[in-house]
Structure 1
Amino acid sequence: MSSTTRGRPSTFSRDRVLLGAARLFWRYGYSGTSTRALTTELGISTSSLYAAFGSKAGLFEETVRTYAERYREIYQRAVTERDVLKVIERVLVDSVVEFTRNSDSHPGCLISSAVMADSTSTLDTRRYIAEMQASNAEALLTRLRQAKSEGGLQPGIAPETLTSFIQSVWHGLSAQSNLGAGRDELLDTARLALRLIAGQALTAPSED
């Protein structure tokens, strides 16, 4: 081995490492996933892991943020829809699609996994996820308040109550996906919720 290559960290795909780490954290939580398990599963050395992420905690933090932020993006896109039922459909259906993406590119929903039963000294996972979910709920609530002001909600339906209901359905879908429910089953549930919401909480769109 030449002096120029001796000791040089092996190159690796950061996305591949994050996905592999996310799978382990999803299954075992932070405390239950050892550095040795990570390096063995990911096929990298401890020194390479530390050079890239600083520590196991640093890898965990980047993993959680990388995959959890996808759900914030779903909400941000959804609330731009003009039709309020389409807003809710995109929140639920797009999230189901994300929950059930091919395992080659997705570790499962970290929000309803072993990650949430664990914590680290560097990233308070529960607080981070709670803040993200509060942000998502607030974005949805703001959009539903707009719909209410425009006559899109039935009398007696408070935007706050409808937001709470939608978030409850969302969490149920997330939990069911982690228990092994397939995409078709989850989509059927999401679409049933949408029909109930359309019939009980929304007004029919006006014919312009």
Structure 2
Amino acid sequence: MPQPTRGRPRAFDRDRAILDAARLFWRRGYSGTSTRDLTTALGLSTSSLYAAFGSKAGLFEEAVRTYAERYREIYRRAVAEQDLRTVIDQILIHSVHEFTQPSDAHPGCLLSSAAMTDSTSTLDTSAHYTELHGWNERALHARIERAAQDGELVAGTDVAALTGLVQSVVHGLSVRANLGTSREDLLTTAHLAHELICRQLTSPTP
């Protein structure tokens, strides 16, 4: 009589593993997430986890960089647009969509996670996020400065202040998203903010 065969092990999905790990890190912090927690959530043995990511610290670093870099990509694409109205629109609207990703595809916002107040010797999460935020702000500032030189802005516009205004709106939308505000409501706010901010631009030539 043939012996029953054992079920095939679950195929390793690196993206899913990073997402599941990020959820734990975001909720519990680095120190509060044990290797056992990770292997249980990911369905991996300790040896398989180490083979895939090198260590718990390696998995944490990859999770932070994977999800934080998505915000950098929003700015990278937006500042390549031809007019400043579109640049600002893309930053606000795409940020809202990123903040409100469904939970099965996104671990949540890193800014308000436990990982931001935790510490690890391999990756200073707050420092990485600060670097990312600085890159985004510099990219936007440079783009607004170019718009001023091209005559898109009212003469005398404070480029730094306008940059700060856009960034403040983005961060406010993030906070409201974390408090459970719906995507629809956030988009309504983003569209209104875009309209008000763009009043600082010069009127388009007929």
Question: Under a length normalisation based on structure 2, what TM-score does the superposition of the two structures give?
Answer: 0.91
Q: Does 1:114 align with 2:114?
A: yes
Distance 2:35 2:160 in 1: 43
User: Which whole-Å deviations, capped at 9, do the CAs of 1:20-39 have from their partners, x for residues lacking one?
Assistant: 01111121221221211111
Judge which range, 172-181 or 133-142, deviates more.
172-181
Indicate the residue corresponding to 2:23 in structure 1: 23
Q: Kindly report the root-mean-square deviation, in angstroms, between the aligned alpha carbons of the 2 structures.
A: 1.5
- Number of equivalent positions: 198
Distance 1:112 1:152 in 2: 35
Indicate the residue corresponding to 1:43 in structure 2: 43
Residue type at the aligned position of 1:122 = T
Indicate the residue corresponding to 1:88 in structure 2: 88
Residue type at the aligned position of 2:97 = V
Q: CA deviation at 1:154?
A: 1.8
Indicate the residue corresponding to 1:6 in structure 2: none
Q: CA deviation at 1:179?
A: 2.0
SS of the equivalent of 2:30 reads coil
SS of the equivalent of 1:104 reads coil
User: Which whole-Å deviations, capped at 9, do the CAs of 1:82-111 have from their partners, x for residues lacking one?
Assistant: 121110010110111111112111111213
SS of the equivalent of 1:161 reads helix
Distance 2:186 2:35 in 1: 35
Indicate the residue corresponding to 2:62 in structure 1: 62
Distance 1:109 1:186 in 2: 15
SS of the equivalent of 2:33 reads coil
Indicate the residue corresponding to 2:6 in structure 1: none
User: Which whole-Å deviations, capped at 9, do the CAs of 1:98-143 have from their partners, x for residues lacking one?
Assistant: 1111211111121332221112100011111111111111111110
Identify unmatched segments of 5+ residues in structure 2: 1-8
Alignment of 1:97-108 (within 5 A): 97-108=97-108
Question: Under a length normalisation based on structure 1, what TM-score does the superposition of the two structures give?
Answer: 0.90
Check the 8 A contact 1:113/1:178 in 2, yes or no: no
Indicate the residue corresponding to 1:177 in structure 2: 177
Distance 1:121 1:172 in 2: 30
Distance 2:10 2:50 in 1: 12
Check the 8 A contact 1:141/1:163 in 2, yes or no: yes
Residue type at the aligned position of 1:120 = T
Identify unmatched segments of 5+ residues in structure 1: 1-8
Indicate the residue corresponding to 2:161 in structure 1: 161
Identity rate, percent:
61
Indicate the residue corresponding to 2:141 in structure 1: 141
| Moved >3 Å (runs of 4+) | none
Indicate the residue corresponding to 1:5 in structure 2: none
Distance 1:142 1:49 in 2: 42
Check the 8 A contact 1:10/1:44 in 2, yes or no: no
User: Which whole-Å deviations, capped at 9, do the CAs of 1:43-84 have from their partners, x for residues lacking one?
Assistant: 111111111111111100000101111111110100111121
Distance 2:67 2:148 in 1: 32
